[in-house]
A = this chain, B = another copy of it.
Amino acid sequence: MAFLNVVPLEEALRIVDGFRERLARREKEVVKLEEALGRVLAEDVVSPMDVPPFDRATVDGYAVRSRDTFMAGDGNPVELRVIGEVNAGETYGGELGEGTCVYISTGAPLPAGADAVIQFEDVEREGDVVRIYRPAYPGLGVMKRGSDLAKGELILRKGKRLTFKDTALLSAVGMSEVSVLRKLRVAVVSTGNEVILPGEKLSEGRIYDVNGRAVSDAVRSAGEEAVFLGVVRDSLKEIEEAIRRGAECCDVVILSGGASGGTRDLTAKAVSKLGRVLVHGIAIQPGKPTIIGEVNGKPVFGLPGYPTSCLTNFTLLVMPLLSGDIRRERARKRLAHKVFSVKGRRQFLPVRIDGDKAIPILKGSGAVTSFVSADGFIEIPENVEILDEGEEVEVTLFGA
């Protein structure tokens, strides 16, 4: 085609990054904390309070004024009078005077005047008197107000995808609502005259869709919303119509090609009619047929048809858009056997992980079994022709 525009991966990633920044500025919405798991924070969160909100006993025992105990020794106990009791959830009304103490349970607030808690196992009690054999220092057995989290402290950053630990943290500082980005909507389209959907009757020459389901569910696994628009035939009109619909209802449009090379040209043609083709082929293997375009200001991706190639390009190019702090996860492994590459070709080779080994998958990226067994891929740079058995490699993981 006239506008063929094969670019290095870095150039494609720069374009994706522009889209990523734009999408990160999408609408916010306030959700209840119970609904916040997996959502992406729209704003930095600073703690609205001190945690703990009061000086808190960390053991069951006796709240004391530490200076009353400084003279205590093994053969020379200090005696204090127990003047009350305070349990978790309660407060002690009075104030400790010299020579007095209060029985306190873990989690209860320190009475006024007290600055230490001595574990009950470390004292002797007789009636309303306790005998203390070792001096307490200020702060013993106490978690100071704000020592865990201070009011005004930055506790979570904008863009963070909330895990169960994050929602628990928000709960700890009393937040019942949180401002998050609305979910991204990703339109997914499968293309190819030979492709049909499960539930349809299989006739000669047809195969069932793989990429539509894979991409839709990978988007959902990443925490965003997928809108699967189904399968369209290798027709300019049908592909154009699918992209138009996708760019209307969604923030991102992803097409995956049929096996035919013609699909690629049709996708590029349709994108150029509706908007602009930005990338027409990436100088990586697999990735030559990959297209990135823009329609209504929205990114449109045309990914390769072979499932493993589709997933590799999805992981490289689309995952960075799926907002929040999801990055490509990596693991260092050792290559299970020697692999060869072609000089001048920057290759991404699917591998299966077994313990600390990365086992190259050589069945071919058209096989569903390759796709299912691949845990990720390794990169073989342009200037490398051989990677030896046992060599350390970095595996970019597909996730699950």
> Which residues from chain A sit less than 8 Å from chain B, CB to CB?
33-34, 37-38, 49, 51-54, 56, 58, 60, 87-91, 105-109, 143, 148-149, 163-176, 192-195, 197-199, 202, 204-214, 216-218, 220-221, 228, 233-234, 258-262, 305, 307, 364, 366-369, 371-372, 398, 400
Tell me whether A220 and B164 are in contact in the complex, defined as CB-CB below 8 angstroms, given that A90-B193, A171-B209, A171-B212 are known contacts: yes
Contact between A192 and B58, CB atoms less than 8 A apart: no
CA A90 – CA B260 in complex, angstroms? 12
A221 to B205: give the CA distance in the assembly, Å. Answer: 41
Asked if A367 and B148 sit within 8 Å, CB to CB, the answer is yes
Q: Which of A106, A149, A364 has the most CB of B within 10 A?
A: A106
**Alpha-carbon distance between A245 and B167 when the two chains are bound, in angstroms:** 25
Within 8 Å by CB of A207, from B52, B105, B207, B372, lies B52
A366 to B259, CA, bound (A): 57
Known: A171-B212, A259-B106. A192 touches B33 (CB 8 A): no
13 new A-B contacts, CB < 8 A, other than A53-B207, A165-B371, A169-B368, are A37-B217, A53-B202, A87-B260, A88-B205, A88-B260, A89-B258, A106-B259, A107-B258, A143-B366, A164-B221, A168-B372, A171-B198, A174-B208
Given known A170-B198, A172-B210, A208-B171, contact A88–B259 (CB-CB < 8 A): yes
Contact B198 A175 (CB under 8 A): yes
**A109-B171 Cα distance, complex, nearest whole Å:** 59
Question: Closest approach, in angstroms, between the C-beta of A352 and any C-beta of chain B?
Answer: 12
Give A78 Cβ to nearest chain B Cβ, in Å. Answer: 26
Contact B214 A168 (CB under 8 A): yes
* A–B complex contacts, Cβ < 8 Å, 18 sampled: A33-B198, A33-B213, A51-B368, A52-B207, A53-B207, A54-B204, A56-B207, A88-B258, A106-B259, A108-B194, A167-B213, A168-B210, A168-B213, A168-B217, A168-B307, A168-B372, A169-B210, A171-B213
Q: How far is the CA of A201 from the CA of B106 in the complex (A)?
A: 22
A38 CB to closest chain B CB (Å) equals 8
Bound form: Cα–Cα A400–B194 in Å: 40
**Chain A binding surface, main DSSP class:** loop
In the complex, what distance in Å separates the CA atom of A197 from the CA atom of B176? Answer: 8
> Is B171 within 8 A of A204, CB to CB?
no
| Residue with the greatest number of chain B CB neighbours at <10 A, chosen from A210, A234, A259, A305 | A259
Neighbour of A214 across the interface among B164, B195, B208, B209, CB < 8 A: B164
| Contact across chains for A400 and B163 when beta carbons are under 8 A apart | yes
B residues near A209, Cβ cutoff 8 Å: 171-172
**Which 3 interchain pairs have the tightest Cβ spacing?**
A107-B259, A89-B193, A164-B217
Contact A172 B208 (CB under 8 A): yes
List residues of chain B with CB within 8 A of the CB of A198: 33, 170-171, 174-176
* A192-B400 contact given A54-B205, A168-B217, A364-B58, CB 8 Å threshold: no
> Quick one: closest B residue to A153, CB to CB?
B369
CB–CB B149/A174 < 8 A: no
**Set B53, B56, B164, B206: member contacting A89, Cβ < 8 A:** B206
Alpha-carbon gap, A34 to B228, bound state (A)? 9
Contacts of A371 in B (CB 8 A): 165, 168-169
Q: Which residues of B contact A60 (CB under 8 A)?
A: 260-261
Query: Judging by beta carbons under 8 Å apart, are B169 and A221 in contact?
Result: no
Residue of B whose beta carbon sits closest to that of A368: B172
Minimum Cβ distance to chain B for residue A111 (Å)? 11
